[in-house]
Amino acid sequence: MKIIVSVKQVPARDSALRINGAGKWLDDSDLSYEMNEPDAYALEEALQLKEKLGGEVVVLSAGPQRVTQTIREALAKGADRAIHVELEDENALDALATAQLLAKAARAEAPELILTGLQSEDLGYGQTGVILAELLGFSHATIVMEVEPQGSSVRVKRELEDGWFQHAVLPLPAVLTIQSGIKKLRYATLMGIKKAKTKEIKTVTASDAGASLAPGAVMERVYLPQRSKQTQILSGDAADVAHQLVEKLRFEARVL
């Protein structure tokens, strides 16, 4: 079974975040980067499927040259090879443009499964995997917690609201967006790190992939929320004050 895992490199969660001079994204001059955690769970699921069923795990990532660090990490954990779609500015693309780029690169591989994380930790749109499936004409499922290939189909367990789950059978090929926390993530071994240095990373440009880089949505402004302090004095007897407080928590603070 050939499985493609789409991974994204995002700013590390402990980075000090500052808005750049244009006010449209983060100042990346002193940011450190890491693999998007939901994508790490997608990679772990793919590696475990490979261990059970055999086949090949191919990592697919789009971004500037620094993305190779994250690609090497995935190879060190056990992926077989990688495709790097090189971009000058990955933040210029929206979910649709990104999915179009990934679809062009993935189509030539003819995979049976494409796994992605549920969403990215920097933008959190949760759309790229679903759009990718639509562009490729693959079946798809989101918030997947279990994956069980069955010949020409795959049975998945999806997490729904309020503790409910859904089991579904999808025809292959399929795109699945994986829920975080479903497996224990592995660490790269010293042997894996050594082997990763010799594994193939195929580099293609956006023009090689033949994809359009014109985004359908543009981020106009990134800003920090304004902090403000307000004090309100509630008067009356205890019952009346309690009633006022509940109303404000429900309709103004919206925490109830």
If you search the block for the tokens 């293609």, which residue do you land on?
204
Which residue, 214, 199, 205, is CA-closest to 84? 205
Answering whether pTM is above 0.85, one says no
Q: What is the pLDDT of residue 91?
A: 66
Distance (Å, rounded) from C-alpha 183 to C-alpha 170? 22
Alpha helices in the chain (DSSP H): 37-53, 67-77, 95-107, 128-136, 190-196, 206-209, 238-251
Give yes or no for residue 16 having a pLDDT over 90. no
- The top-level CATH class assigned to 2-209 is alpha beta
Which residue, 7, 73, 16, 81, is CA-closest to 41? 7
> Which residues have CB under 8 Å from 13's CB, separation 6+?
34, 121
CB contact burial 221-250 (16+ within 10 A = b; e otherwise): eeeeeeeeeeeeeeeeeeeeeeeeeeeeee
Quick: pLDDT tens for 195-241: 999 999 999 887 776 666 676 777 888 887 777 777 888 888 999 99
Q: What is the pLDDT of residue 211?
A: 60
Q: Where are the domains of the chain?
A: 2-209
Q: Do the strands 153-159 and 139-150 form a parallel or antiparallel pair, or are they unpaired?
A: antiparallel
Quick: pLDDT tens for 37-73: 999 999 999 999 999 999 999 999 998 899 999 999 9
Residues shown for the chain: 256
Per-residue confidence at 90, pLDDT binned at 50, 70, 90? Answer: low
> Which residues have CB under 8 Å from 197's CB, separation 6+?
72
